Structure 1
């Protein structure tokens, strides 16, 4: 009886909240929904993708490492009546899944197409280490995996186009934005100075420990706004730096940053997950299109990408 009363109280509470938020329509939608919302299948798909990728890696290493008379090793992964294996095993290592797609589903059956890159050893026809790419089709049925056929050697992924970034203005390191970006990255990467001095309270950023570099030289500061911090309250910029460690110079690094101004003072709010992009996106067709700032007399040749649409 107590359990039933508790359930009734919970139901009354839910209906009261729905009535407050959406009135009678919200209650009607709740009662006629027919059950809970659909379960997100993303974790399941990701798990299946990992299974298929791992299986493809093991299959390819076993196949390329097998020699004549070891057909039974391959039979653990695929059933094929005709197979020729070399007398000497191919030296392969370091498998990497470079592409993976679910290409077919039917009930509990899924078929995944996996492209795996492997590093091959030196040989008479191949004097230096290189990477080769193999495509494998994998079936997955309730956790059971099987290859559909022998691997296929394919070409490496082709070079993709460059996207133009949206940093049209080059700012001097002495500009308001340049000073904050330079000071922040120096404190963040070298431990010299106080990161909190350059960041907002809610940024949550602290200096890296241990500090990876001993000093930082600023190369360029590219920003969206032409004022470089003289006006505005929010700004996106790209800071490119040359760091140095105790052992010498390190490779150049680029940091897309978001800065905000409060009480006349610029502060870093975040290190952005991706650079600022124009809207609509612009596809650069020359090497200069990815550098950000461009000369007004020599605009980059580009093709506009339509805005995304929902299916």
Structure 2
């Protein structure tokens, strides 16, 4: 029957066996997706499914700077966080949510499973359902807590532009800390997240008293937040690519520089050829986010005050 297994399950079983035998210990790196493609002759999509399966089982996790590693050994005996009698953990909804955030920060949303959380917290899986209705409910609660970690000041700065700029950068910071977060937030179907709704309230208040139609004010708020989320959806993919290849973004570009140059020199890309011949570019997600945010607010200024430099501080 083993030979009839899909390739990704067969490869996962081999890695699982090595973990069980102690050949791979907690914290040890496991083969990257790229290495699995070389060693087993499978496509990158298959190799990715191997690691996703092992993450879902709680066997491995992704650590920034270390790649995919064997997950720590789990213990269920009395220890920190258990009640004074040692009969069980002092479990709470807040503790469960925070544990979920830790898992997601380390290995992405795919690493968050009720089974893994129960193992981390030293409790029976079914006990988690006293605090959340299920995984979907937990993930939404995690998203709300992550947004709450980017609090907005009690006193807003003066001017609509400064207020919207502050909101956008606060959300960007939250997305950078929690790269899985933009994949949870929906612009098409807003979720009932108290912290998220507080951000929307902030954006709407920023345009109060400017004489704008209510439809315009809603579009200003939602478009701003959608822009930040849209750029942020690239954060997790970029981090995963670094883990899988072992190359930074700069190293990856350098490795493929010859191929890019050959394609550009092949014709039909004269504009790219002219611009790249002028030297290195300062272009990454941070510069794209900052440039786009400034230009978006410039557009709002044109809409609100009829001139693109409205409320632009010196140097902007």
Higher RCO by CA contacts (8 Å cutoff, separation 6 or greater): 2
Higher strand proportion = 1
TM above 0.5, yes or no, is no
TM range (shorter): under 0.3
Higher helix proportion = 2
Larger Rg: 1
**How high is the TM-score relative to the length of structure 2?**
0.21
